[in-house]
Structure 1
Amino acid sequence: MEPEGAKNGFDSFIQSVNSVLEKPVTWFRESVVDKNRVEYPWYHRQFRRVPTIDECYTDDIVCFIEADEQFKRDRMVDNEVLNILRQRKEDCVMYEGADSKTKCAKMIEDYDKAAENWFIKYGDLGAYGNVKDAYMKQKHRLIWERRHGPVGSGMKSAL
């Protein structure tokens, strides 16, 4: 009795060996691995959150690198959110025309607030800004606000 598709004795032998080796692996993959795997679309990959730079020890280089990669992913997400808000605002202004000041006020306000928050976090860092630069920027801003009040309100006068 030859296996299906065999042309001669050698071909029959190779197909028999192949089925002996392949069948258990295929069965294990289909019945165990695939049933226990969580499926998600490739474009929706979710990374676990890692400690931020302020939670890393000063000599933990791996933690610094992980925090920097997390920062880069967060910056890319924030850039896309800002691009979506900008596109919605532009579409609304284009569609509404002369009435856009009143009808698109909410979208314009949302975009302006998001752009301000983006600049507070990522502005002036440049293309090669990393998590340490952003952390120092945040620290300097907090010190400025403690001494002089909110940024943009002018300096406090001496008492």
Structure 2
Amino acid sequence: MTSDSDKNAYPEPPRQTPVVDKQTALPNPALILTKLFYYSVDLPVTTFKELVDGIQSGNKQKYYHQKFRRVPDLTECTEGDYLCYYEAEMQWRRDYKVDQEIVKVVQERLRACQQREGASYQQNCANEIQQFSEVAKAYQSRCMYHPPDMPTIQCYQ
């Protein structure tokens, strides 16, 4: 320090490092419990999980929509070919459910447009109305032909 500096404003640093609190001879019980838990529970479980994940990563299955091959229509099956009858009926049922969902989605879009546009929905929602009428017509044409054991009532829910 220079001689012209004020000693009260800039006191000298301490000459010795402060004494650290002395630790007891007994270890901390919380530290003992956490280490006991880690080595007895956490480490074995984590190791086992990583081992299982490593094994499963080799044969990991991805989820995709199941793709079915197209089969002949029921009218194209030869007489007495019950497997063809079954496959055609199952394909018809899958197509029927898909058509139902398509009608629901288009109907929701039309309702949303009607809600959004209000009284002038006839003009502003012409595309949605046209699309809904086409989808409904296609759905009704699918309902006209159905396998004999499927009730017709499902077509008009």
Answering whether residue 79 of structure 2 is matched by residue 58 of structure 1, we say yes
Match of 2:130 in 1: 109
Give 1:63 deviation, angstroms: 0.7
Structure with greater proportional helix content: 1
Give 1:65 deviation, angstroms: 0.5
Question: Matches of 1:103 and 1:91 in 2, distance apart?
Answer: 12
Match of 2:106 in 1: 85
Equivalent pairs counted in the alignment come to 100
Give 1:74 deviation, angstroms: 0.2
Answering whether residue 150 of structure 2 is matched by residue 128 of structure 1, we say yes
Gaps of 5+ in 2: 1-39, 41-50, 153-157
Question: Matches of 2:145 and 2:73 in 1, distance apart?
Answer: 20
Matches within 5 A, 1:1-159: 31=58, 34=59, 39-41=62-64, 44-123=65-144, 128-129=150-151
Give 1:50 deviation, angstroms: 2.0
Gaps of 5+ in 1: 6-22, 131-159
- Report the residue type matching 2:150 in the other structure: Y
Bigger Rg, structure 1 or 2:
2
- Report the residue type matching 2:130 in the other structure: E
Q: Deviations over 1:98-143 (max 9, x none)?
A: 121111011001101111121122148599249xxxxxxxxxxxxx
Match of 2:5 in 1: none
Identity percentage of aligned residues? 29
TM-score, normalization by structure 1: 0.53
- Report the residue type matching 1:128 in the other structure: M
Give 1:40 deviation, angstroms: 2.8
Question: Matches of 1:127 and 1:88 in 2, distance apart?
Answer: 33
Q: Taking CA–CA contacts closer than 8 Å with sequence separation of 6 or more, which of the two structures ends up with the larger relative contact order?
A: 1
Question: Matches of 1:124 and 1:63 in 2, distance apart?
Answer: 17
